[in-house]
Amino acid sequence: EAGVTQFPSHSVIEKGQTVTLRCDPISGHDNLYWYRRVMGKEIKFLLHFVKESKQDESGMPNNRFLAERTGGTYSTLKVQPAELEDSGVYFCASSQDGGRRWTDTQYFGPGTRLTVL
Amino acid sequence: GQSLEQPSEVTAVEGAIVQINCTYQTSGFYGLSWYQQHDGGAPTFLSYNALDGLEETGRFSSFLSRSDSYGYLLLQELQMKDSASYFCAVSQAGTALIFGKGTTLSVSS
């Protein structure tokens, strides 16, 4: 079974430019999460989709970040315009749904390393 | 606020046993997970505790005490390949994971 995949693996852009990150969750996983790790700090939650609906976007830092999950499959995270403090590793994770013991097991992708110059 | 505390670094030798502690202070609690991350890789799920006690998975075990807001990951028969970062994370009923800052484990021969 394929794991969570993310594209691109690395992105280097200049301040003010736009970048779009993509995440393909494990097939059949309704839950999709975005996280970010800024250098030296902990991995922090950005938002959570259940199918195509945003369940929780309390972690989104500001309105320069826009996440979508059309059709409830893959998701994109767009940063526009990018700022220096947006640099970090952006992780996507997915999980199944429904009252099993391992409901909360989230499986992570390898991340996209974003550098804003 | 919500916080998880774990040691920043741990060193050990091959064959040894190491314990990585995690204490948490969160507004909600559903379970404690542990993840392993090798440099540049995806955080990989290791274990999950929702109830008090010890869960064993091969060389790795994880423990939880809800009354003490404390858990630990126990790694036995350490191997060089176990050198990685280890994160504890609290889940809050199916939503976001709240992560600790991670513990870097270095295993030497």
* pLDDT 10s digits, B31-85: 999 999 998 789 999 999 999 999 998 999 999 999 999 999 999 999 999 999 9
Q: Parallel, antiparallel, or unpaired: how do β-strands B103-108 and B9-13 relate?
A: parallel
Condensed to tens digits (0 to 9), the pLDDT of residues A26-39 reads: 998 989 999 999 98
A45, B98: Cβ pair inside 8 Å? yes
Selected residue of A103, A104, A114 to mutate for chain B interface (largest B Cβ count, 10 A): A104
pLDDT at A100 over 70: no
The predicted structure's pLDDT at residue A101: 46
Computed on alpha carbons and rounded to an integer, the radius of gyration of chain B in Å comes to 13
Burial group, residue B65, by CB count within 10 angstroms (0-12, 13-18, 19+):
middle
The predicted structure's pLDDT at residue B93: 67
Task: Kindly state the average pLDDT of the residues B22-28.
Answer: 91
In the block, tokens 């858990």 appear at B71
pLDDT at A102 over 60: no
Condensed to tens digits (0 to 9), the pLDDT of residues A47-98 reads: 999 999 998 899 999 999 999 998 889 999 999 999 999 999 999 999 887 5
SS3 B2: coil
In the block, tokens 């064993």 appear at B56
Please report residues of A whose CB lies closer than 8 A to that of B30.
104
The predicted structure's pLDDT at residue A104: 59
Tell me the range of A12-21, A37-46, B83-92 where mean pLDDT is highest. A12-21
B30, A110: Cβ pair inside 8 Å? no
Task: Kindly state the average pLDDT of the residues A4-20.
Answer: 97
Q: Report d(CA B10, CA B94) in Å as an integer.
A: 31
